[in-house]
């Protein structure tokens, strides 16, 4: 793979306080840039992180033709940085691109350029446990074109950011509430794609939830408004008795990479896993009967996030609001142990990048 690399004249890493990282506020020295023109993707280029210029008529600004991914790089030792399930992230951005009528990019170009970016900026990978380098690859319609149809020119960029915990609660349990007036996705829509507009449309209900004292929305289905789908930034799991239940995929739920990992590990441990419809009423009934043991979310940003409270129509499910449950803790330790190279990767999920 021919990747042109232009290094920065002056690193900004001295500006970073690695002991007080905020999520998505500081960005590393370099980025990937690649363009789609004349019916094909050009070669990826790695260059200094910089502002980009565009015309007011840029297609993505008007029609939202844009998708993205979120992944992380983990410090193993001074010679190795791990990427997690990189091929799965390429598969998902490809699926998202197809749904948004964006040309798919070559897998080798995607993986090779990201590995080279990590090699170049490996000093930006935090060494503190629980911290990581967040990677944000994204594609958008870059054509100067105001017409309600798919563009013919696109741009792929990947940037990175050293991060600590995603939620302000850190590893403490979060609180969730349903929304009476909003839904996230409908059958036949873009719910299963990591499309930018899906997130923009969720900001108002999320803001209202936070103003009411909750961390995030727990979304219900659009048709009957009774079945749990996902949380604003995570997939969700319920440990009911000895069974782990998570809403099934079906076009309205994002197919999370961490979700996939949780399901695989739980089955490996002999846990009964059910991917099915689960109503919010069933959650409350399981809590009332004492069968609801734990609730937790999964996602790249937070990995595993325990849930301490769920609010719905004036009623609450209250779990441990101070500590993570034992099953969620075991899952967190296993996944992060694999990511940081502390536990053997039996599944071939990690992509070790030799940086020295």
Cα distance between residue 302 and residue 58, in whole Å: 33
Contacts of 261 (CB under 8 A, 6+ apart): 85, 298, 335, 349
What does the alpha-carbon distance between residue 205 and residue 181 come to, in Å, rounded to a whole number? Answer: 8
Instruction: Tell me the DSSP string of 18-50.
Output: TTS--TTS---SEEEEEEEETTEE---EEEE--
Q: Tokens 């996602």 — which residue?
A: 299
Using an 8 Å Cβ cutoff, are 76 and 341 in contact?
yes
Sign, CA dihedral 322-327-329-332, equals negative
User: Which pLDDT does position 166 carry in this prediction?
Assistant: 72
pLDDT for the residue 301? 87
Any idea which fold 174-324 has?
D-amino Acid Aminotransferase; Chain A, domain 2 (3.20.10)
Q: For the chain, give every domain's residue range.
A: 4-164+349-354, 174-324
Of 263, 339, 301, the residue nearest 71 (C-alpha): 301
Which residues of the chain fall below pLDDT 70? 167-170
pLDDT of amino acid 171:
73
Cβ proximity of 199 and 258 under 8 Å: no
CA atoms within 13 A on the CB side of 159: 16
Q: What's this model's pTM, rounded to 2 decimal places? A: 0.95
What pLDDT score was predicted for residue 340?
97
> pLDDT per residue over 280-299, tens digit each?
999 999 999 999 999 999 99
pLDDT in tens, 137-167: 999 999 999 999 999 999 999 999 999 877 6
4-164+349-354 has CATH 3.40.50.970 classification: no
- The yes-or-no answer to whether 4-164+349-354 and 174-324 have a common fold is no
- Residue 77, both tokens: 């030792």
Write the CB contacts of 56 (distance below 8 Å, at least 6 apart in sequence): none
- Distance (Å, rounded) from C-alpha 131 to C-alpha 73? 9
pLDDT at 167: 66
φ/ψ (deg, to 5) at 72: -135, 155
- What per-residue confidence (pLDDT) applies to 184? 96
Q: What is the pLDDT of residue 279?
A: 98
On the 0-12 / 13-18 / 19+ scale of CB atoms within 10 A, 56 is exposed
């Amino acid at each position: 793979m021919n990747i042109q690399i232009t290094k920065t004249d002056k690193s900004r890493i001295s500006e970073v306080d690695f002991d007080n990282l905020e999520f998505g506020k500081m960005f590393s020295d370099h980025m990937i840039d690649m363009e789609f023109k004349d019916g094909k993707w050009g070669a990826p280029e790695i260059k200094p992180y910089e502002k980009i210029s565009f015309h007011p008529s840029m297609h993505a600004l008007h029609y939202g033709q844009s998708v993205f991914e979120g992944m992380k790089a983990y410090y193993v030792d001074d010679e190795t940085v791990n990427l997690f399930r990189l091929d799965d992230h390429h598969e998902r951005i490809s699926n998202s691109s197809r749904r948004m009528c964006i040309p798919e990019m070559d897998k080798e170009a995607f993986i090779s350029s990201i590995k080279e970016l990590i090699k170049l900026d490996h000093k930006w990978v935090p060494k503190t446990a629980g911290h990581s380098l967040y990677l944000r690859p994204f594609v958008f319609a870059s054509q100067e074109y105001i017409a309600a149809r798919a563009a013919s020119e696109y741009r792929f960029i990947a940037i990175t950011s050293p991060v600590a915990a995603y939620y302000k609660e850190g590893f403490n349990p979060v609180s969730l509430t349903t929304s009476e007036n909003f839904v996230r996705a409908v059958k036949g829509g873009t719910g299963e794609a990591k499309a930018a507009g899906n997130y923009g449309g969720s900001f108002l209900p999320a803001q209202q939830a936070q103003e009411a004292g909750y961390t995030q929305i727990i979304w219900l289905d659009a048709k009957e408004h009774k079945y749990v789908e996902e949380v604003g930034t995570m997939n969700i799991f319920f440990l009911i008795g000895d069974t782990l239940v998570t809403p099934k995929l079906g076009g309205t739920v994002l197919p999370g990479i961490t979700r996939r990992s949780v399901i695989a590990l739980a089955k490996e441990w002999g846990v009964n896993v059910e991917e099915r419809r689960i109503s919010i009423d069933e959650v409350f009934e399981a809590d009332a009967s004492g069968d609801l043991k734990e609730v937790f979310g999964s996602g790249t940003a937070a990995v595993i996030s325990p849930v301490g409270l769920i609010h719905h129509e004036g009623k609450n499910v209250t779990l441990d609001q101070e500590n993570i449950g034992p099953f969620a803790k075991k899952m967190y330790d296993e996944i992060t142990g694999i990511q940081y190279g502390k536990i053997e990767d039996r599944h071939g999920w990690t992509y070790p990048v030799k940086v020295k």
